[in-house]
């Protein structure tokens, strides 16, 4: 029965390849990339800060950083997103636009992953690098700027490409708070044209085309910056 039904489905790719869908698709793509890029920038800055706090081992800050990373890594992005969009206004009276809410939620989430990636990258640096810097008389700040961070970032680089991929895919969740990104556009079109199979298939292909080069970049980076 199922086989018959699927065989009987009449695929109409005209629902995907038409002027309207292409136009809305481009708008959606623009929003997806914008949200993703902003979250990447804010998330990495936040992640660096949090990693720094955790590595500082200073009593209140390190614990706060630890709680933050664990909380955001162990709860679903979708829940975080809804929480920022619906709960913050009620709790604190802060109301954000859907795009801002989306960027906040994704940045906070990515920040937790960035923090772990940066921390790992920095902890992988041998103690000898700190010792050598100290004996040479470098100040702590100089050591971090010129010795530790350049190497830590290099160690972390391949993993950050993976965070970008995750962000691009997670940006589709913003459709639930009506951010007009790629998935949202496809959802509305599917509702109008009654052609969800074609549209969602095309959407999956679109995400694949966007993320696959990134995944190749990630493995290239891994090879390029392998620890000698």
| Pairwise CA distance, residues 81 & 106, whole Å | 7
User: Where does this chain touch other proteins (CB under 8 A) — which range of 55-63, 71-79, 148-156, 173-181?
Assistant: 148-156
Asked if 59 interacts with other proteins (CB under 8 A), we say: no
Closer Cβ to other proteins, 11 or 146, answer by number: 146
User: Quick one: tokens of 30?
Assistant: 């623009």
Closer Cβ to other proteins, 137 or 213, answer by number: 137
Nearest CA to 151 out of 46, 227, 223 is that of 227
What residues have CB less than 8 Å from 153, skipping those under 6 apart? 118, 121
Closer Cβ to other proteins, 79 or 132, answer by number: 132
Number of residues that bind other proteins (CB under 8 A): 19
Per-residue string for binding with other proteins, 149-188, x by CB under 8 A?
-xx--x----------------------------------
Closer Cβ to other proteins, 34 or 221, answer by number: 221
Q: How far is the CB of 59 from other proteins (least distance, A)?
A: 16
* HEC-encoded secondary structure of 166-227: HHHHHHHHHHHHCCCCHHHHHHHHHHHHCCHHHHHHHHHHHHHHHHHHHHHHHHHHHHHCCC
| Pairwise CA distance, residues 111 & 162, whole Å | 13
Closer Cβ to other proteins, 88 or 221, answer by number: 221
Q: How far is the CB of 141 from other proteins (least distance, A)?
A: 10
Asked if 222 interacts with other proteins (CB under 8 A), we say: no
User: Quick one: tokens of 188?
Assistant: 């509305």
Asked if 76 interacts with other proteins (CB under 8 A), we say: no
User: Quick one: tokens of 59?
Assistant: 């009593």
Inter-residue contact 53 to 61 (CB < 8 Å):
yes
Closer Cβ to other proteins, 207 or 225, answer by number: 225
Inter-residue contact 81 to 177 (CB < 8 Å):
yes
Task: List contacts with other proteins (CB under 8 A).
Answer: 126, 128-129, 131-132, 134-139, 142, 146-147, 150-151, 154, 227-228
């Amino acid at each position: 029965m199922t086989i018959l039904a699927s065989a009987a489905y009449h695929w109409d790719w005209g629902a995907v390849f038409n002027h309207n869908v292409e136009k809305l698709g481009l708008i959606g793509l623009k929003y997806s990339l914008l949200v993703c890029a902003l979250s990447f920038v804010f998330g990495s800055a936040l992640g660096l800060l949090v990693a720094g706090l955790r590595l500082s081992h200073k009593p209140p800050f390190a614990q706060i950083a630890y709680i933050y990373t664990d909380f955001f890594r162990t709860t679903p992005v979708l829940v975080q997103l809804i929480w920022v969009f619906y709960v913050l206004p009620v709790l604190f009276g802060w109301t954000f636009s859907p795009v801002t809410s989306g960027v906040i939620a994704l940045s906070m989430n990515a920040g937790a992953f960035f923090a772990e990636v940066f921390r790992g990258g920095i902890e992988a640096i041998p103690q000898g690098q700190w010792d050598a810097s100290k004996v040479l008389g470098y100040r702590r700040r100089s050591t971090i700027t010129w010795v530790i961070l350049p190497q830590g970032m290099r160690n972390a680089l391949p993993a950050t490409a993976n965070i970008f991929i995750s962000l691009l895919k997670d940006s589709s969740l913003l459709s639930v708070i009506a951010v007009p990104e790629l998935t949202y556009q496809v959802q509305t079109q599917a509702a109008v044209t009654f052609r969800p199979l074609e549209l969602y298939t095309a959407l999956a292909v679109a995400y694949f085309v966007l993320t696959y080069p990134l995944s190749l970049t990630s493995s290239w980076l891994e090879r390029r910056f392998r620890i000698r």
